[in-house]
Structure 1
Amino acid sequence: MTAAPHADIARLRRTHPQLFSRPLSEKLRDWALWLGFFALLGFGLWWIDASPMRLVAGLNKLGLLVTLMIPPWPGDGFWEYCQAMLETLAMAFLGTLIAAIVALPLGFLGAKNIVPNWLFHFSLRRFFDAFRGIDGLVWALIFVSAVGLGPFAGVLAIAVGDVMIFSKLFAEAIENTDRKPVEGVRASGGGDVHVMRLGVFPQVFPVMMSHVLYFFESNVRSATILGIVGAGGIGLQLSDRIRINNWQEAAFIILMILVTVSVIDAVSRRIRAKLT
């Protein structure tokens, strides 16, 4: 009863020896890769001066800042902070909405099954990739310099930063649609516009809305960071309180941001679950 399995193993060893013992060259290659990884890691830590003493000193200072934040207190600026939070939410909402509206036709143009021209499709996709490489904080600095301080610069930064990401995601969703509804619309005498409106869009709308809702909750956090560089909102209030070392009010603002983001995340998750 036990001879057959041993015979099978012996036969496997003869026919596939690499499954039981790796060649020495592969072992040396793996060791060289691991050695190179740890050498690069060590060099990076040395380059940024990540010494244990510096880390301990930083943790001690962080602990002091935390004690200065307790208890969080709004002072006289509670309603001002509420207005700034609403401004941040408006920035995120308008920026996400504008990006989604602009990205919708770009997504159809970037889908292979809608525009089959290879050169046009390749050029448009590379255009999306090029702009996706620029972070929203960079766009905020550019638009603050172009249109001045305030939430308008933040809305533009979010919209321009997200439009290319939405375009790529929308195009991928359109490419994965089922062909049967499209063929049904064409068989009924529908043209290209009818195909996109009746055959494609109903299939991708839940996916698109899921992406938009996810990015909205992400952009609420991004709008906070954009406010620190002058784009208005609660981020500007937080930056001012940290600058003057008013740590209790800074802690209260941070708690406001955490609560707001948590509520938006919970609501968005429920809506996305129903859509998908």
Structure 2
Amino acid sequence: MSHTLRDRAHADLGGLQARHPWVFHPPLKRRFVTVTVVVALTGLMLVGFWRLGFSFERMIKGIGELGTLVMLMLPPNPGSWSKAVLIFHALAETLAIAFLGTLLAAIIAFPIGFVAARNTTVNRLVQFASRRVLDGIRGVDALIWALLWINVVGLGPFAGVLAIMMSDIGSFGKLFSEAIEAADKRPVEGVTSTGGSRLHQIRYGIIPQILPVIGSQVLYYFESNTRSSTIIGIVGAGGIGLHLSEQIRTLEWQSVSFIILLILVMVAVIDLISSRLRQTLIGRSAQGKG
């Protein structure tokens, strides 16, 4: 039996080689291009390491310093009860920044997604302009938006919310428009056959299809923004990042490890909850299609 299977495998392999010879025996030109690309990328990587001062000696020495730093961080300790209360308050502020920034971005990007989608836009010129605007917004990192908004509205969590919001509007606009374009045309055609207007097509033919997808995307970005809001807090946009930066500056390493531990726990809990909610939304979407 095993010999029969082996003979069939060899026969299939021979047939595949006969039908697709360029896969098993690529031409010399293709091999030359592949080798050239690999060599060029390897050379570029080595030049980059050289220009950036990469050194194995410095890396090994840095690992030793990292071990010393980890020992200084143990055990995690906020220092005092009053300090712990401030840290937990800042952690809640970070969570609020991520939630409000993500929610506002989703609300603003939802109508923009319809303008940027090919099948629901006003005309091609409007679609092109809206896509380019979304590309421009998305091209600026949340940290840069935080620095800009701090100079506009001042230090604090309000600047953090605006930074998360602006960063996500570009991403949500693109994702929402792609979900709209990928929507099944049959429900839209059904609404049209009953005399429905363009707004009816969107309301009853497209929105019910894309809501689970959009909900899943918003939950994922909320999880991601929880980490981002920690980073932007370091530059003065409120939240736990500001306390983390202060503890590092004053070399309070046990407090630093306590804050990092709280951030890890918060992100893990949010990841668990959002993953289950996303699975629920995806499951409902699959049932609806079925």
Alignment match of 2:118 (pick from 98, 112, 133): 112
| 1:102 correspondence with 2:108 | yes
1:221 to 220, 227, 239: 227
Q: Tell me whether 1:83 sits opposite 2:98 in the alignment.
A: no
- DSSP-derived class of the 1:167 partner: helix
User: How high is the TM-score relative to the length of structure 1?
Assistant: 0.92
Aligned equivalents of 1:250 and 1:166: distance in 2?
A: 33
Determine what percentage of the aligned residue pairs are the same residue. Answer: 49
| Superposed CA RMSD | 2.2
Q: CA deviation at 1:189?
A: 2.9
Q: Which residue of 2 aligns with 1:133?
A: 139
What residue is the counterpart of 1:73 in the other structure? 77
**Deviation of the 1:193 alpha carbon:** 2.1
Q: Which runs of 5+ in 2 are unaligned?
A: 1-6, 283-290
Does 2:209 align with 1:192? no
For 1:1-276, list aligned pairs within 5 A.
18-76=22-80, 77-115=83-121, 117-276=123-282
CA distance in 2, matches of 1:271, 1:25: 51
Alpha-carbon distance in structure 2 between the residues aligned to 1:9 and 1:218:
49
The one-character-per-residue Cα deviations of 1:94-119 (angstroms, maximum 9, x if unpaired) are 10010000001001111111126222
Question: Aligned partners of 2:78 and 2:138: how far apart in 1?
Answer: 38
Which consecutive residues of structure 1, in runs of 5 or more, have no partner in the other structure?
none
List per-residue Cα deviations over 1:46-69 (Å, max 9, x = no partner): 111111111112111111110000
- How many pairs were matched up? 272
Secondary structure in structure 1 of the residue aligned to 2:158: helix
Output the CA distance in 2 between the equivalents of 1:9 and 1:204.
47
Deviation string, structure 1 residues 182-211 (Cα, Å, up to 9, x no partner): 222223332222222222111111111101
Q: TM-score, normalised by structure 2?
A: 0.88
Range 197-206 or range 253-262, more displaced: 197-206
2:95 is paired with a residue whose SS is: helix
Q: CA deviation at 1:222?
A: 0.3
